[in-house]
Structure 1
């Protein structure tokens, strides 16, 4: 999709790369992430309004440290360097970067000069987030220092003639009080952006783009009931109507009533061609006796593909496959970054034997929060747009050990109670993911004056901005007490409820 204005986030390996891009988009300016290895010619031809150099863990003097062609500063495109990106700008342009005797890390007060581009509408003194060992000791010729902290003589610098700016702090993180204003000043003050990146215009452009790509040909979508595939399906349906068919494979390990809810929305509200395959018995028979988590994942994943292929063949000739690929999938699979973080099954093109002539990926440019905004714009109900992240294997990997029909039914009830009470308490959007786990642990208890030996349910809740790291959610004790009481009283064969207070790392968000 062509963009009238766009910003390039040039990735030098910083952990906040995606966060920078999200913050830019929150300012209603489209941006994309590219590796620092991107050629000067490609950057020039793309027509960017501005460039942001990200942070990174390296020193500019390291042999293998990421760098870029110094001619990038001669393109006439405004550039903002952040942390390592600031140091690299200083180094490449003849400034001096040194190792600091006192490392600045965490909340730091800084003061800035008045009447500077980056600090308009920012108080003269405020708190920012620093994370660096090296620092800029001397600015390049033509630059002026625009901010300082106690241990950092160059907390920010600028060269107005060439529209070059740099900050040692991290404006993209929430700990920097006026970070979003600093980014906005760069985008609107230095880059002269208009801010045309809004979800209503995205929907219009996406619909036009899908129609141009597909024409009057057929599209099939593997619908999981998750946010990404649901929004992608409704968007494609808006573009081509009945030429889209969704195949919803219900593997029998979804959350309580989830299959029926998905069917109701897509069939009744949107009148989308939907094929629901109730394959629970088939999946559970394949999982009989299997306890190893990765083996369970592979069995469920492969089974899903086989069932989908069988149903797709019944449709006759279908030219396109619709996928709910989103931007973090692309970046993490190595398309935008220099290194692969993790491979995603829906990134990298079509397998040669899959039988489709092309992919339709209308959400490929979006982050998760933007996908939700598109879903709201399309009229998808909130309960689906704000649905909790749910792994492809479903409850199959939230049941530790062998998966049986009885265990699935038990966990569905416990999980539904937990989610219901979190929503009733108004915490359903502040806790980013929450669910119940059937631990496989049995313990002694006393119920009705008698001894019991029953199941233990673990509750898990986390807060996170990117799901790469996460903090355990501080759920109020009285709420946990209510959830525990309801589960033990309403769900048969459960006599103990525990709460997981482990962050990621060292744990993962899921238990398997």
Structure 2
């Protein structure tokens, strides 16, 4: 990759579920950073030549024989290092300290640390004698510091809550500064990146855009690219970015698989043909997808079928266009995190995203994924940078598999039509209430459950519609949107009255975690 700036931070990932939040906070400070799994960190270092290193948290224990380690030579480079939670533990052990089980001193959740000595890490932010809220999540803890380290903050369960070697610019902390529950965490990370590491803080999405354009040109050369449009923001931004890089070498293919929201097809086709003048092929393959989904109820099988069939359609369209060398997709970082084990360790696959785990191994075209390092809100910023209309950029996320994963159980044309109508009513009411931009994602789900109802003094036996609405920053975690009862009552009344086939409406109050945002 062509780096968008010479000021870069390398984040070494030990498998924490919130490692990506470290990257978000650093980027929010205007400093470019990349994440590399611990077992590929040395290679990433050579490529990036970073000004500093951050060691992430992780689920392992350093007392395990096969626990992950940072490359030992990182500690001899003379660069600043910030070690978080598991990162603190492995740094302490690798430098001659001692780590042990906390036993009664485990800490999970909100905690308070006392600042007992000054440090360059929080100079001008915290002072000796102050108490500050942080977020802990640890079972083990450092029991003996390596030579040269001193305690600068402590808590009841972590006597070395922050321990530093100021001479070597090594800083370690037991808590997680990257999560919002550590109020000053973002400021600590920004201070490390800019004041300790000397990064300028001038990285922008414009710089990322320029770097990615160079990357795309280098990767594609004179080749032809097909970009799959799903109707969502991600694929749209990817398409416009790639078109800016290689122009007429790109052809967009909109696969109308019959699983789109109401009015989706018309909007996508109009935007790309009229607003951006990008070559677009509209492929109507509704029958192909729905026939292939007939009788399929397992969500992973749905995703994998849709992913494989997408590729088959793209291969066929590429042949019609005289051949294509690359398939472009709007894959985002959260897609990768949820689909594969980023560290190569024991983390589990939550679900196969259609454009990550759902792709067949025999795919002929090579992938171009210019958004793979970005979070959803960063993609929106990039979209604005590229000139996409605000109405399109601000749209709620929509999954590539479309309505297929919002219909638990078998997917049929009839059930898609029912869901389309209910979903359109729900989103219309959200817009009418002025709530659309306050919500990360909202959608209806058609459940494989039928219930008895009464309408016009007659018995009904129809489907249940579930409503989902969440707030989030990056899609990795999400809270339920707290609609007023009157709003939900109004939506439920309209859906039951206007959509034949639904006689009951429920609201999903599950956050992420433990649930995912989509139902399948």
Task: Spell out, residue by residue over 1:16-75, the C-alpha distance to the aligned partner (whole angstroms, 9 max, x if none).
Answer: 211112211111111111222236576356411111111123333222222234332110
Q: 1:99 to 1:216 in 2, by over 3 A?
A: closer
Which whole-Å CA distance do the structure 1 matches of 2:356 and 2:410 have between them? 31
Contact 1:33–1:336 under 8 Å retained in 2: no
Name the SS for the 2:207 alignment partner.
helix
2-side partners of 1:383 and 1:122: how far apart? Answer: 39
Within 2, Cα distance between the matches of 1:178 and 1:107?
13
Residues 221/51 of structure 1: CA separation in 2 closer, same or farther (3 Å cut): same
**What is the 5 A alignment of 1:73-222?**
73-100=75-102, 101-113=104-116, 115-123=118-126, 124-222=130-228
SS at match of 1:195: coil
Contact 2:15-2:342 at 8 Å conserved across structures: no
Which secondary structure does the structure 2 equivalent of 1:37 belong to? Answer: helix
Deviation readout 1:154-209 (Å, 9 max, x if unpaired): 21122122111111111001010100011011011110001232111222232233
For 1:389-418, what per-residue CA distance to the aligned partner results, in whole angstroms no more than 9, with x for missing partners? Answer: 333332123234443333222211111111
Alignment of 1:150-299 (within 5 A): 150-299=156-305
Aligned residues: 510
More deviation in 322-331 or 174-183?
A: 322-331
Alignment counterpart, residue 420 of structure 1, candidates 428, 432, 448: 428
Instruction: Tell me by how many angstroms 1:135 deviates.
Output: 2.5
Deviation by residue 1:258-310 (Cα, 9 ceiling, x = unmatched): 11111111111101100111222333344445555455444444433332222
Measured at CA, do residues 401 and 105 of structure 1 come closer, stay the same or move farther in structure 2, by a change above 3 Å?
A: closer
Q: Distance in 2 between matches of 1:53 and 1:134?
A: 16
Matches within 5 A, 1:424-439: 424-439=432-447
Q: Give secondary structure in 1 for the equivalent of 2:167.
A: helix
CA contact (8 A) 1:55 1:82 kept: yes
Shift of 1:485: 1.6
Distance 1:164 1:291, change over 3 A: closer
Q: 1:61 is matched with which residue? A: 63
Tell me: CA distance 1:320–1:59, structure 2 relative to 1, closer, same or farther (3 Å): closer
| Partner secondary structure for residue 161 of structure 1 | coil
Quote the residue 1:394 is aligned against. 402
| TM-score normalized by the length of structure 2 | 0.89
State the alpha-carbon separation in 1 of the partners of residues 304 and 511 from structure 2. Answer: 26
Deviation at 1:110, TM superposition (A): 1.5
Q: Distance in 2 between matches of 1:14 and 1:65?
A: 13
Stretch of structure 1 that moved more, 203-212 or 2-11: 203-212
1:2 equivalent in alignment to 2:5: no
Once residues 59 and 301 of structure 2 are traced to their aligned partners in structure 1, the CA distance between those partners, rounded to angstroms, is 36
Q: Decide which moves more: 229-238 or 67-76.
A: 67-76
User: Quick check: 1:223–1:249 contact (8 Å CA) kept in 2?
Assistant: yes
SS state at 1:233 partner: helix
1:17 to 11, 16, 19: 19
Uncovered stretches (5+) of structure 2, i.e. residues with no partner:
none
Q: Distance in 2 between matches of 1:400 and 1:38?
A: 38
In structure 2, what is the Cα distance between the partners aligned to 1:423 and 1:242?
37
Contact 2:354–2:400 under 8 Å retained in 1: no
Bigger drift between 41-50 and 436-445 goes to 41-50
| 3-state DSSP of counterpart to 2:426 | helix
Contact 1:135 1:152 in 2 (8 A): yes
Q: Residue 382 of structure 2 corresponds to which residue in structure 1?
A: 374
The question of 1:319 aligning with 2:325 is answered: yes
Q: Would you identify which runs of 4 or more consecutive aligned residues in structure 1 move more than 6 Å?
A: 350-353
Q: 2:106 is paired with a residue of what secondary structure?
A: strand
* Distance in 1 separating the partners of 2:273 and 2:53: 45
Render the CA deviation track for 1:329-386: whole Å, top value 9, x for unaligned.
45566685233644666569x9896554x54322233222222211121121233323
Deviation of 1:114 (Å): 6.1
Identify the match of residue 365 of structure 1 among 362, 373, 376: 373
Q: Is the 8 A contact 2:232 2:399 kept in 1?
A: no
1:107 Cα deviation from its structure 2 partner: 1.4
3-state SS, counterpart of residue 147 of structure 1: strand
User: 1:66, 1:475 → 2: CA distance?
Assistant: 44
RMSD over aligned CA atoms reads 2.8
Q: SS of the residue aligned with 1:419?
A: helix
User: Structure 1: any 5+ residue segments left out of the alignment?
Assistant: none
